[in-house]
Amino acid sequence: MRWTSIIAIYVLFWVLSAFCIMPFGVRTHDEAGIDKIPGQADSAPADFRPGRIVRRTTLLSLLLFGLYYANYVKGWIGPDDLNFFGKPPDLAGGR
């Protein structure tokens, strides 16, 4: 696998992990008991920490990409293992 492919696939894992991590640990101002600023959305986080989210996302994406790459090298699960419906019918030679 080329290094450019490794970077591109890792970035995809990172973005997917970010969207999975973001909702966890977020508390609104109502949940935290803090006064809201006029015009503020009710769902706005009370104490947003982007550094914490980046660290958690990086750890999760490293784990997921590590498993992906190990499977790529070792060949644990291949395309034939994911074919749940059997071989498709031959459409060209059956007439």
In order of 7, 28, 41, the CA distances from 36 in angstroms are: 41, 9, 9
pTM greater than 0.85 (yes/no)? no
Which tens digits make up the pLDDT trace of 13-44? 999 999 999 999 889 999 999 999 899 999 89
Convert the pLDDT of each residue in 57-84 to its tens digit.
Answer: 999 999 999 999 999 999 999 988 888 8
